[in-house]
Amino acid sequence: MKIPAIALRGLCVLPGMVVHFDVSRKKSVLALEKAMVADQKVFLVAQKSVQEEDPGMDGLYGMGTVSCIKQLIKLPGGMVRVLAEGLERARLEALDGSGGYLQAEVELCPAEPFLEADDVTREAMCRVLKDEVEQYAQANPAFSRDTAVMLMETGNLEELVDEIGVNLPLSLENRQKLIEAPSFSDRYALVERLLETETQISRIKLEFQEKVKERIDQNQKEYILREQMKLIREELGEDGPQAEAVQLEEQLKKQKARKEIKEQIQKEITRYKSMPAGSQEAYVSRNYIDSLMALPWSRMSRDNKDLAKAAAILEEDHYGLEKIKERIMEFLAVRSLTGKGESPILCLVGPPGTGKTSIAKSIARALNKKYVRICLGGVRDEAEIRGHRRTYVGAMPGRIAAALKQAGTANPLMLLDEVDKLGNDYKGDPSSALLEILDSAQNENFRDHYIELPIDLSNVLFIATANTTQTIPRPLLDRMEIIEVESYTENEKYHIGEKYLVAKQRKKNGLTEAQFTVTEKALRRIIHNYTREAGVRELERKIGELCRKAAKEILDGKKKKVKVTDSSLEKYLGQELVRFDKANERDAVGIVRGLAWTSVGGDTLEVEVNLMPGSGKLQLTGQMGDVMKESAETALSYVRSVSPEFQVDSEIYEKNDIHVHIPEGAVPKDGPSAGITMATAIMSAVTNKKVKADLAMTGEVTLRGRVLPIGGLKEKLLAAKMADIHTVLVPGTNKPNVQELSEEIVEGINIKYVGTMDEVLKEALI
């Protein structure tokens, strides 16, 4: 069938579809005239590219629609407006443009009826499409309600599919797919899929529109409220930041600060005045001004200068700790004489539970200073100390500036807790940031990154606490005055418990002195047999446990008052928890008692040595660290070097293995102070001479037999005392350390000073 053809740009006509389109190309106008002269039928086919002016066979889609021209209207400029109705699908077989217009040879492809399904299936398919149409109409408010009603009332399945394709606002590509669908089943599936896709697109679009509308409404509401607020302020004579700036200037006049500091704050207030109300910049500036105004630039508290009163407060709060109390009294005396005096930077170093943090509180109370605590454990970010730059979102002052703000005075006592547990990573090294703060020659002009103005920290009394100096960086350690807080003796623990802890726990658990008491013998037994620590933290927990059990008994009506005695202690606390290794009952070969320092106080360390047939190997067991292993090897080398003096055959080392063991193998042990102990044990084993049972020793040994000094002497002597050991060998160079110890510790112990292994062996071997 030959028929005039018109190439349409961006338009695809479906059967049953009535469309308007304008024609301006000469070929298309001539084709319309030829069609009107004949039977008014024309072949409408879409061209693939809208830019192509004279498309050929390759530039057109292969399927189009034979349509009937209903109306022609000639417009100015040679343009013709056409009203056409699509009739039947047709395939384009050939195209001829030689006559001045496009003439197409087409093959009609009539819509075949859907005959494969029964009436029930067809009805089901209709309902599926109608449900989809209804959902689409709900999701797309722009879709004509009349069109939706018309589609819902269509009963014929084929007609419904065609009507949906005609009325749905589909793209050119999707309409072309509908024309080219080979069968009705394909066309039905395509219409259903397109309808579902368009519904989802409409829903998403609707959600976006609602969100945009909501945001616009909120912004509009805020704008109106802001304008109303502005008008109200103008009527009242207030003008946003200007009015606030006046208040800030009044506060600045009352602020105690150096002239240059006040000038800088005034500049910031002046800047704030010119900022628009409600702007983000004004909000940041106001926060910065508030931070500056909150700092106590030159606001000082009056220190207590009464030495007797300060000493009484320190004695009232803490038992012992004589070095610390003496140092604080010295500071007070200097301050009284000079009027100011340089604030010391003290570092209290000692085991957990020895009262380092609580003594800082007592010092603050004794000196009448404000107390602020900064916990440095786990701090890894330098900005936590120095603050963040103001350019960052959420910037805030560092911990030092924040602590001054909290204290409200420029001369508080600032406790830097757990200074040995500072970390560092890619964000910086906080310990380096502390170098300026903890240097009395530099901290007069400390600069916080957020505050940006010099802060005078010279009046702050810094007290740091640490469990050990090993992990504190050397430059930081150099800035501080180290005061050792040593372990408590059992007698000291008793006085602390009797004077402070019992009363504290009694009050904490709601008991009175009449309701709850602990006898002296019971308290001493708790210390000796239920706790093992350098401080008194565990002792306080045990007293708290007694108070809780007593409170329960009183409330149950069993008793009106509870008195804990030595005999009733097991009833409340159960079996004894702590066991102390006593001195050996008999002298033995290859067994020597050493002394060790641990984080919870001192301990005795038994070293056992066995000789067995072998090839001269040295075997070390008992979880020894690298330093202790090296001490064992040094001890063996020393023993081998002096063997001829003790008539020991050198072949004994080649034909025997030496096994050195330290019991409690699951507990890690390290340090050089067991050197003379291992050397003595090895010598005893190879010479088969017994070692005195009632003897312990500590000291580092060298290859030539010299005895070097060690640390932790107080804790080690206490451990020897608890083990009922009466003779202790100590390096001669540690004599000054022993002389500093109280009589209570050394009483009952015969301390012998040794300088060489010859002296050790003379005292130890029988």
What CATH number is given to the structural domain containing 664? 3.30.230.10
Same-domain check for residues 743 and 635: yes
Name the nearest CA neighbour of 161 among 179, 137, 135, 142.
179
Has residue 710 been placed in a domain?
A: yes
In angstroms, rounded to a whole number, what is the distance separating the alpha carbons of residues 192 and 186? 10
Has residue 102 been placed in a domain?
A: yes
Judging by beta carbons within 10 Å of its beta carbon (0-12, 13-18, 19+), is residue 481 exposed, middle or buried? exposed
Name the nearest CA neighbour of 375 among 367, 384, 364.
384
Which pLDDT score is estimated for 534?
A: 79
Same-domain check for residues 316 and 400: yes
Is 49 one of the catalytic residues? no
Has residue 512 been placed in a domain?
A: yes
Has residue 220 been placed in a domain?
A: no
Same-domain check for residues 133 and 101: no
Same-domain check for residues 636 and 669: yes
Residue 158's contacts (CB-CB under 8 Å, 6 or more residues apart) are 111, 113, 114, 184
Q: What is the per-residue burial (b if ≥16 Cβ within 10 Å, else e) of 605-619?
A: bbbbbbbeeeeeebe
Residue 19's contacts (CB-CB under 8 Å, 6 or more residues apart) are 11, 13, 83, 84, 85, 86
**Please, what is the Cα angle at 49 between 45 and 54, to 5 degrees?**
70
State the 10-residue block means of pLDDT for the chain, 766 residues long.
85 82 85 85 86 82 87 85 87 82 83 65 80 79 74 74 74 77 76 82 82 80 76 62 73 82 84 74 83 85 82 83 83 77 80 85 87 86 83 84 89 89 75 82 83 86 88 87 82 86 90 90 88 85 91 85 88 80 80 83 86 90 90 93 88 90 82 91 92 91 92 85 88 90 83 93 90
Contact 108, 89 (CB under 8 A): yes
Judging by beta carbons within 10 Å of its beta carbon (0-12, 13-18, 19+), is residue 233 exposed, middle or buried? middle
Has residue 484 been placed in a domain?
A: no
- In this prediction the pTM is 0.60
Domain edge (last residue) among 448, 476, 504:
476
Which pLDDT score is estimated for 703?
A: 92
Domain edge (last residue) among 108, 133, 154:
108
Contact 92, 46 (CB under 8 A): no
Which pLDDT score is estimated for 580?
A: 66
In angstroms, rounded to a whole number, what is the distance separating the alpha carbons of residues 208 and 217? 14
Same-domain check for residues 78 and 127: no
Which pLDDT score is estimated for 608?
A: 93
Which pLDDT score is estimated for 635?
A: 94
Has residue 6 been placed in a domain?
A: yes
Same-domain check for residues 336 and 444: yes
Which amino acid is it at 423? G
DSSP state at residue 245: H
Same-domain check for residues 699 and 609: yes
**Please, what is the Cα angle at 325 between 324 and 330, to 5 degrees?**
95
CATH of the domain at 548: 1.10.8.60
Which pLDDT score is estimated for 233?
A: 62
Which pLDDT score is estimated for 112?
A: 63
Which pLDDT score is estimated for 340?
A: 67
Contact 44, 67 (CB under 8 A): yes
In angstroms, rounded to a whole number, what is the distance separating the alpha carbons of residues 426 and 431? 14
> What sign has the CA pseudo-torsion 707, 713, 715, 721?
positive
Contact 101, 34 (CB under 8 A): yes
In angstroms, rounded to a whole number, what is the distance separating the alpha carbons of residues 757 and 632? 14
Contact 608, 591 (CB under 8 A): yes
Name the nearest CA neighbour of 455 among 344, 291, 335, 301.
291
Question: Of 669, 673, 684, 714, which residue is the catalytic one?
Answer: 673
CATH of the domain at 185: 1.20.58.1480
Has residue 162 been placed in a domain?
A: yes
Is 716 one of the catalytic residues? yes
For residue 679, give Cα distances in angstroms to 185, 609, 673, 704, 753: 99, 10, 11, 12, 17
Residue 231's contacts (CB-CB under 8 Å, 6 or more residues apart) are none
In angstroms, rounded to a whole number, what is the distance separating the alpha carbons of residues 449 and 129? 67
Same-domain check for residues 126 and 29: no
> What sign has the CA pseudo-torsion 83, 88, 91, 92?
negative
Same-domain check for residues 45 and 85: yes
Tens-digit pLDDT profile for residues 594-635: 998 876 667 888 899 999 998 889 999 988 889 999 999 999
Q: Which residue has the tokens 């395509």?
A: 190
Q: Which residue has the tokens 């003595």?
A: 680
Same-domain check for residues 550 and 617: no
Which pLDDT score is estimated for 607?
A: 92
Q: Got the DSSP string for 444-460?
A: GGEE-TTT-SEE--TT-
Q: Which domain holds residue 497?
A: 490-573
Extract the tokens encoding 446. 């400390």
Same-domain check for residues 472 and 552: no
* Consecutive H or E run containing 18: strand 18-23
Residue 173's contacts (CB-CB under 8 Å, 6 or more residues apart) are none
Which pLDDT score is estimated for 278?
A: 66
Same-domain check for residues 323 and 443: yes
In angstroms, rounded to a whole number, what is the distance separating the alpha carbons of residues 627 and 669? 9
Domain edge (last residue) among 524, 539, 573:
573
Which pLDDT score is estimated for 181?
A: 77
Has residue 222 been placed in a domain?
A: no
Q: What's the structural domain count of the chain?
A: 6
CATH of the domain at 78: 2.30.130.40
Tens-digit pLDDT profile for residues 82-118: 888 888 888 888 888 777 888 888 888 876 665 566 7
Q: Which phi and psi angles does 398 have, rounded to 5°? A: -75, 180
